[in-house]
Amino acid sequence: MTVVPDMSLWTGRIDAAEGQGALRWHQWIKPLAPGMPAGAALIGLASDEGVKRNQGRTGARLGPPALRSALANLAWHGSAPLYDAGDVACVGSDLEGAQHAYAAQVTELLTQGHLPLGLGGGHEIAFASFSGLADYLRGQTPAPRIGILNFDAHFDLRHAEQSSSGTPFRQIAEYCQRADMPFAYCCLGVSQLNNTQALFEQAERLNVRYRLDRHMNSWDMPALEAALDEFLRGVDHLYLTLCLDVLPASQAPGVSAPSAHGVDLNIVEHLVRRAKASGKVRMADIAELNPGLDLDHRTARIGARLLASLID
């Protein structure tokens, strides 16, 4: 499958009088082509079929271009290569086909030495991202120890007849069981009132580590850092996924299910940067941006900031 990036999305201010020290993302990023030096590569999954199946508010399929537009005008402070690898689109209701195609793209990016950064789309991107990473790592070792760090108000461990944005981590658990791999899942920012007792029981059965949103405050930071560090010590590779509904609705209104409580951006970004500093992040993505519900592009801007925090 050939995925062609739309570079027309990368526009913004140019401060030519200030020279090379005044570059912005749109001036640095390049379309990905074979044989280019290793760098960070943006790859989108333009889908909200999973949100639709999960009875949510659709529109997340427009998330990837909205994230690019929010990233485009940010000041560039890096030196490593940065690429746009385009989007995999969900055609009709073929979510499974889109996930398979996206996972194959992730595997190929990793094979070329890139750091894939996924742009959602609904949180169905998580199963596709993990599958691509696991398929790549299993080519090197039979049972890689992959940690899954999810910032999310929801466990997304649902049982359902079809895959959806509410099932990806159950699907990952089943993948790990089939592949005889450990299932190491940590979910930060869980809303007790938006996850049923059955989901908490499922999380306990699967030995999921989690923190409730009300236990993620500035005064909880030493304990949060210690818990994150302990989780990271037990894995060799990290898949980091950010569902934007983990943030308070005042900060991130443009999601299918805005949070009444949520976790403040300062805390989320700090922990994301701490996870990145471990050197174990092999794949990361942003999910659930719904531009049609976004007030003043507020959610897209936060998503862009969090993505930028993953770039060296």
Q: pLDDT tens digits, residue range 16-30?
A: 888 788 999 999 999
Q: Are 20 and 248 in contact (CB under 8 A)?
A: no
In a domain, 162, yes or no: yes
Q: Select from 289, 241, 283, 285 the least CA-distant residue to 48.
A: 289
pLDDT at 312 over 90: no
Q: Select from 139, 136, 128, 124 the least CA-distant residue to 103.
A: 128
In a domain, 18, yes or no: yes
Euclidean distance between CA atoms 192 and 182, whole angstroms: 26
Euclidean distance between CA atoms 113 and 99, whole angstroms: 21
Euclidean distance between CA atoms 157 and 199, whole angstroms: 7
As for how many domains the chain has, the answer is: 1
Burial readout 126-146 (b: 16 or more C-beta within 10 A, e: otherwise): bbbbbbbbbbbbeeeeeebeb
Q: pLDDT tens digits, residue range 119-134?
A: 999 999 999 999 999 9
Q: Indicate whether this model's pTM tops 0.95.
A: yes
What does the pLDDT average to over 127-151?
A: 97
In a domain, 253, yes or no: yes
In a domain, 252, yes or no: yes
**Count of beta carbons in the 10 Å neighbourhood of residue 54:** 23
In a domain, 227, yes or no: yes
Which tokens hold the place of 123?
């949180």
pLDDT at 2 over 60: no
**Which are the contacts of 217, defined by CB distance < 8 A and separation ≥ 6?**
264, 267
In a domain, 177, yes or no: yes
What does the pLDDT average to over 233-250?
A: 98
DSSP 142: S
The DSSP result for 67-124, as a single string, is HHHHHHTSBP---S-EEEEEEEE--TT-HHHHHHHHHHHHHHHHHTT-EEEEEESSTT
**Half-sphere exposure (Cβ direction) of 135: Cα atoms closer than 13 Å:** 18
Euclidean distance between CA atoms 64 and 140, whole angstroms: 31
Q: Select from 186, 271, 198, 200 the least CA-distant residue to 235.
A: 186
* CATH for 87: 3.40.800.10
In a domain, 1, yes or no: no
What is the percent of the chain with per-residue pLDDT over 90, rounded to a whole number?
93
pLDDT at 276 over 60: yes
DSSP 284: E
Q: pLDDT tens digits, residue range 104-115?
A: 999 999 999 999
**Count of beta carbons in the 10 Å neighbourhood of residue 110:** 20
Range of the domain at 249: 7-308
In a domain, 2, yes or no: no
Residue type, 143: A
**Half-sphere exposure (Cβ direction) of 218: Cα atoms closer than 13 Å:** 3
Q: Chain-wide mean pLDDT for the chain?
A: 96
Q: pLDDT tens digits, residue range 155-206?
A: 999 988 889 999 999 999 999 999 999 999 999 999 999 999 999 999 999 9
Residue type, 110: L
